Structure 1
Amino acid sequence: MTALDLAIDATFERRLDHDLSCLPCFGGAVERRHAPLLPRDFVLAANYLKSFPQHGFTLDNTIQPDEQYLLSPTCCYPVFHAMRGTTHAETTLITHKNLCFRCEEYYETGTRQISYMMREYIMLSPDLDRINAWIEDVKTEVATYLTSLGVKVEVEIATDPFFNANDYKQKFQRDQNLKSEFVVNGVACGSVNLHLRAFAKACAIESDDGAPMYTACFGLGYDRIYHQFLLAQQADAPATLEPAE
């Protein structure tokens, strides 16, 4: 396979879609579809390029220089872009699957890809306790599900790969325990992230009382988890017997 290929198998992709939708923590999620493309002046896209310039893929047009975009590095950004300026009376759970893009120093199938398939679940709520309870349910239920696939998963506190290692946001993220990763054989195959009110405030997503909503998201990298599934299957396969001489 090359950097232009996906690792995920279509049958396994459908299996993941179905199995995740059956987990209680993801019950009732509303499916949304958006293009994996963001205006570069969208606040989350602009902030991403400031914090992770090493990963961003940007597009422009030589004829129309004002047409400038970022290929989305996550599934949740297009959802937040579409929900700008909206008001919500109650807790909302959304799911979105799409291709994501990140520039990498090297390519390795199923581990480090330029383009990859991801599904995310995004919760918005006026109640921080509801968000925190959901995050704990996600950690437990997703870890149990991934274990049922035959992979050995650890849930670990993590931070994002900020370009500036001294960025205050990285320290805040770690100190506040805002990010946890689902790690298999040293590879982060998924993560759950608490945004507090930062994303909703940036996108003017509010509750009925006018306050920014609390938000969190869970994302699973389909290519990575499929690769780890195949490795586990190979490890469990009985060794081939050599013919006696």
Structure 2
Amino acid sequence: MTAEPTPAPGVILIAGAAEELLSDVVRVLRRLCAGESERHLRAPPVLDAAVADRAGYATSFPHLLAAVSQGGTATDLVLTPAACYHAYPLYEGRVLAGPEELSVVADCYRQEATTEPGRLRSFRMFETVRLGTPEQCLTWRDDRLDRLARWLEALGVKSAASPANDPFWGRTGRLLADAQRADGLKWELAADVADGIRQAVVSVNYHKEHFGAAFGIRAADGTPAHTACLGVGLERLLLALRHAHGPVLERWPTSVRDALTQ
């Protein structure tokens, strides 16, 4: 099972059995995480720049965002920084009769400053998005964190849950990060992806009304809808599995292979 480096730092090639395995992983994650939703999207590697701006990504993470240009001139597109950003415009202006959910896989890009194993610039992300009331989103987030922790355990990947924060930019960003951690809005499941290196393989996030207000999504009472999401870095999961069980898929425990395909 191979994940080969390329001349570009933070960019790897996935080949053979590893690519087939990731296809199986997405199917398992859809069953495990999507819950009430049968709606699944395969998103492109580009996103409307206006969506990134309205969502606040361009302000909070300018150091990670990459614009698409042609002939040195910026276009109306940016490279997708997270799969969930494709979901919110689908609900723009809607009043939700009840909780909504969908899953999405996207090719993502972030201009990471480090090239340590697992800290990729180009990667695939599986996400499930939940929209509803605060209680519906928080209950869902905590349930999915528990589900994924138990799944990683079944895969023989030792993970640890901990509160986390996003790398917001500038002094205001540091205050936002402190508040995010203090409020327990973001949790991660981190696992070893190489000797002495742990990376977040899973993250779950509660956004409060941020995206509901930005995209005019309302709950039944007319207030901005709240949202939550979970994300799984597919290449990071692959690296964690390879670190735990070795590079030869056929030599992995049968129980692990079953958990990846059933």
TM-score normalized by the length of structure 1: 0.86
The corresponding residue for 1:149 is: 155
Match of 1:73 among 63, 77, 81: 81
Which residue identity is paired with 1:128?
P
**Judging changes above 3 Å, is the alpha-carbon distance between structure 1 residues 11 and 32 closer, same or farther for their aligned structure 2 residues?**
same
**Judging changes above 3 Å, is the alpha-carbon distance between structure 1 residues 200 and 140 closer, same or farther for their aligned structure 2 residues?**
same
Q: Which runs of 5+ in 1 are unaligned?
A: 239-245
The corresponding residue for 1:205 is: 217
Question: Does 1:179 find its partner at 2:186?
Answer: yes
Q: 2: CA distance between counterparts of 1:216 and 1:44?
A: 19
Residue 66 of structure 1, CA deviation: 7.1
Q: Which runs of 5+ in 2 are unaligned?
A: 193-197, 253-262
- Shifted more, 194-203 versus 38-47: the winner is 38-47
The corresponding residue for 2:258 is: none
Per-residue CA deviation, residues 68-106 of structure 1 (Å, 9 max, x unaligned), is 321111000011133322222110111000101001223
Question: Does 1:121 find its partner at 2:139?
Answer: no
Root-mean-square deviation (Å): 2.4
Q: 2: CA distance between counterparts of 1:172 and 1:37?
A: 30
Q: 1: CA distance between counterparts of 2:165 and 2:68?
A: 27
Q: 2: CA distance between counterparts of 1:44 and 1:189?
A: 26
Residue 46 of structure 1, CA deviation: 6.4
SS of the residue 2:115 aligns to: coil
The corresponding residue for 2:42 is: 33
Match of 1:219 among 231, 234, 239: 231
SS of the residue 1:207 aligns to: coil
Aligned residues: 234
Question: Does 1:234 find its partner at 2:240?
Answer: no
Larger Rg: 1
Question: Does 1:82 find its partner at 2:94?
Answer: no
Q: 2: CA distance between counterparts of 1:15 and 1:94?
A: 18
Report if the CA contact (8 A) 1:190-1:220 is conserved.
yes
TM-score normalized by the length of structure 2: 0.81
Residue 211 of structure 1, CA deviation: 1.6
Percent identity between matched residues is 28
